[in-house]
Amino acid sequence: MSHTLGIRQAQKQKTRQALQDAALQLLEEQSLSSLGLREVTRAVGVAPTAFYRHFRSTADLGVALVEEALGSLHPMIRTTVSTAGDSAERIERAVELIARHVDAYPAHVRFIARERHGGVQPVREAIRDQLARFAEEVRAELAKDPVSAGWSDDDLLMLAHLYVDQMLSTASLFLETLDAPEDERARVAGLARRRLRLISLGRLHWNGG
Amino acid sequence: MSHTLGIRQAQKQKTRQALQDAALQLLEEQSLSSLGLREVTRAVGVAPTAFYRHFRSTADLGVALVEEALGSLHPMIRTTVSTAGDSAERIERAVELIARHVDAYPAHVRFIARERHGGVQPVREAIRDQLARFAEEVRAELAKDPVSAGWSDDDLLMLAHLYVDQMLSTASLFLETLDAPEDERARVAGLARRRLRLISLGRLHWNGG
DNA sequence: AATTCCAGAGAACAGTTGTTAACTGCATGG
DNA sequence: CCATGCAGTTAACAACTGTTCTCTGGAATT
């Protein structure tokens, strides 16, 4: 049960969220590695020292952003690779879902793509861990599919990671088409579908390592 | 013919290279977006203002690093996807070549992986352009293979980009095993081989869009 | 109603940054 | 041999950074 927060805790969470939102916006044109604590507080309109009430450092802020950006994605994953429908339908559904997600949370997608290999170790690790959880869920979902008969767990995990990577790569491509003409977005969608189709073909003919 | 540089030009190129080397080393623990000009000159042991004799800004330095890191890779690409040998041999050769490259130029690999989606636009664009050139060369090489009969140029380019992405992804994985035990490296190599094998299987059964 | 707690403000700190200007010494070309 | 060019130096600038300490006002607790 969710206990209603006091005025005090509520206000604190509000400022904290404001800091995260401001950071996410500032990170459109730079990396977390160069994000300054004062820069963030200035954008929110709060004293620099208030930052420490919420985060130890900007790296700590970054880890919180990873949770925000990826934590809410887990339920979506399951429906994305759900075994319902034939292969073409599933691919179409997945690409569509990715496109919508990029539209809804472009800053989140940019942040993850940028910091996955970025210059701040704790953030890299947080992203790696979350993506590993994703891959594990995808693997579990793939295992339900009769196509996966004869597959080792290791091979299934390999395939799951391949799908997760494709998801991120596709999201990153969609990100670049956000302020591009519609036909450019359609081209990316077509490209993503063909890539998934090729991987699915390889999956169908997998001989088992 | 290569005209011998004067003492002057030679010394200039030497410091320029020193700046690039120092930057590359400093970028192991941060992103280009936070790399300071003074930081670089201090590491080289040269006055901050000397920087301007070589680069307009650190972003400019970054673009030069892209050339250095990726420019020399083109000849290697051709042999990597050359049509010699059967599928398993080609995959083995490719993974081996990537592993050796990561061993030889870890800082280069880290830089490209980090800045491909990094916070400095000109650098992102430079990397994107170079990778597009790679993909184009891979496409040309793939086109020679009889397996590619019936493939459209567009589909071949899609496959080529898939291979290039795999190359980068694998290199990034090898990078993380640089100070890890040998069996960890072997595990990554095996993973990379299986991923390439799955893609190659998809390629063999491609029905043509 | 009195007391404690704590998110945020304010001021000050030493250290850093990019950029400008005027300079020096040495390799170069006439 | 002398004049020019130019890589690198020195000094100084305003602006910015993260962090510490002290303080305040109002919510939370008793």
- Give the tens place of pLDDT for each residue, A26-85: 999 999 999 999 999 999 999 999 999 999 999 999 999 999 999 988 877 888 888 788
In chain A, what residues touch B158 (CB-CB under 8 Å)?
191, 194-195, 198
In B, minimum Cα distance to A27 occurs at B119
Residues 6+ apart with CB under 8 A from A116: A124, A127, A128, A131, A168, B117
Query: What pLDDT is attached to residue A209?
Result: 59
- Is B119 within 8 Å of chain A by CB? yes
**At which residue do the structure tokens 């400019």 appear?**
B60
CA distance B123 to B115: 7
Q: Does residue B20 contact residue B68 with C-beta atoms inside 8 Å? A: yes
Q: Do B205 and A202 touch (CB under 8 A)?
A: yes
Shortest Cα distance from A148 to chain B (angstroms)?
Answer: 14
- Each of the 209 residues of chain B gets a pLDDT tens digit; together they read 446 779 999 999 999 999 999 999 999 999 999 999 999 999 999 999 999 999 999 999 999 999 999 998 887 788 888 878 899 999 999 999 999 999 999 999 999 999 999 999 999 999 999 999 999 999 999 999 999 999 999 999 999 999 999 999 999 999 999 999 999 999 999 999 999 999 999 999 998 76
Q: How far is CA B168 from CA A23, A86, A95, B105, B171, in A?
A: 29, 31, 23, 13, 5
CA distance A96 to A92: 6
B158 closest CB neighbour out of A159, A172, A195: A195
Please count the CA atoms within 13 angstroms of the CA of B202 that sit on its side-chain side. 24
In chain B, what residues touch A201 (CB-CB under 8 Å)?
201-202, 205-207
A53 CB-to-strand C distance under 7 Å? yes
- Is A36 within 8 Å of chain B by CB? no
Query: What pLDDT is attached to residue A5?
Result: 79
Quick one: tokens of B131? 């990778």
- Is B29 within 8 Å of chain A by CB? yes
Name the amino acid, one letter, at B98: I
A29 closest CB neighbour out of B119, B169, B205: B119
- Is B19 within 8 Å of chain A by CB? no
CA distance B86 to B204: 13
- HEC sequence for B74-100: HHHHHHHCCCCCCHHHHHHHHHHHHHH
Query: What pLDDT is attached to residue B3?
Result: 66
Q: Point out the residues of chain A with pLDDT beneath 70.
A: 1-3, 209
Q: Do B119 and A30 touch (CB under 8 A)?
A: yes
Q: Does residue B102 contact residue B192 with C-beta atoms inside 8 Å? A: no
A162 closest CB neighbour out of B121, B172, B195: B195
End-to-end Cα distance, chain A: 48
Q: Which nucleotide is nearest to B14 (CA to C1')?
A: D7
Q: Which domains does chain B have, with CATH numbers?
A: 7-60 (1.10.10.60), 68-204 (1.10.357.10)
Q: Considering only CA atoms, which residue is closest to the C1' of nucleotide D10?
A: B47
